Amino acid sequence: MLKVDNLHVTVENREILKGVNLDISPKKFHVVMGPNGSGKSTLALTIAGHPKYQVTKGEILLEGENITALSPDERTRRGILLAFQNPHEVEGVRIIDFLRQVLTELKGMDPAEAYDLIREKAMELWFKEEDVHRYINVGFSGGERKRLELLQALLIKPRVLILDEPDSGVDVDSLSIISRKIDELHSNGTAILLITHYGRILQHLDPNSLEVHVMKEGRIVLERGGDFVREIEEKGFQAIFEECGCNE
């Protein structure tokens, strides 16, 4: 579905990604792990088309189509959605207005129908009815912000959903609803690329469906099955890198 081929990315004249290769299919549940600063968010933002991240070499393919030069908006229209690590506040823009516009423009949905769907899905993610009339993320807790990112995903049902640490700054209850909803999207055919530090969000998933990609200094250095998550948690990245000779 999504293929990243020898991707080199520069931010402010510094090379951050140094040849990333990745093959994302909807059949597997793809997890990216790696130490802080290894380039996970850079990879996510580059796939989403953030203008600050310059591709100097390599390409990104969506079902065989080279999308490397497309704008973020065009990528969203083709079905790529990024749930941000740090979702920003948007003062003055109400959630309901924003999401209704997304659904009418992207999905051609009738505005009244969109309104009902947004309310229904918001409540599935434990928002109160009045919450959808608030400004985007203004005064929202960490968990609420992450749930709002997921609300967009549930409404859009993207072909590829990239989640950048949807579990960071989230309490246990929010974590369980978030992981269930991600699993629901995956079961319905969305290809998932989940960036995380913790195995916790994966505990409800079938380990056999997981594929773990480990990043180190701008490259993917290891690709293993689901059991590897626990090994990483037990040993830590440094020990794992020693073992695999990835430090050479």
CA 222 to CA 216: how far, in whole Å? 9
Site for Mg ion in 32-51 (CB under 5 A): 40-41
- Strand residues in 86-180 grouped as ranges (E): 90-94, 135-136, 160-164
Measured from the CB atom, the residue of 75 and 216 that comes closer to ligand ADP is: 216
> How many residues touch ligand ADP (CB under 6 A)?
12
SS3 73: helix
Measured from the CB atom, the residue of 40 and 213 that comes closer to Mg ion is: 40
Q: Tell me if 213 contacts ligand ADP by CB under 6 A.
A: no
Assess contact for 2 and 47: CB atoms under 8 A.
yes
Report CA torsion sign: 208, 191, 205, 167.
positive
Measured from the CB atom, the residue of 83 and 156 that comes closer to ligand ADP is: 83
Measured from the CB atom, the residue of 41 and 174 that comes closer to Mg ion is: 41
One of 2, 16, 47, 210 touching ligand ADP (CB under 6 A): 16
Phi, psi of 101 (to 5 degrees): -65, -40
CA dihedral 103, 105, 109, 110 (to 10 degrees): 110
Shortest Cβ 15–ligand ADP spacing (Å): 9
Shortest Cβ 159–ligand ADP spacing (Å): 23
Contacts with ligand ADP by CB under 6 A lie at: 11-12, 16, 34, 36-42, 52
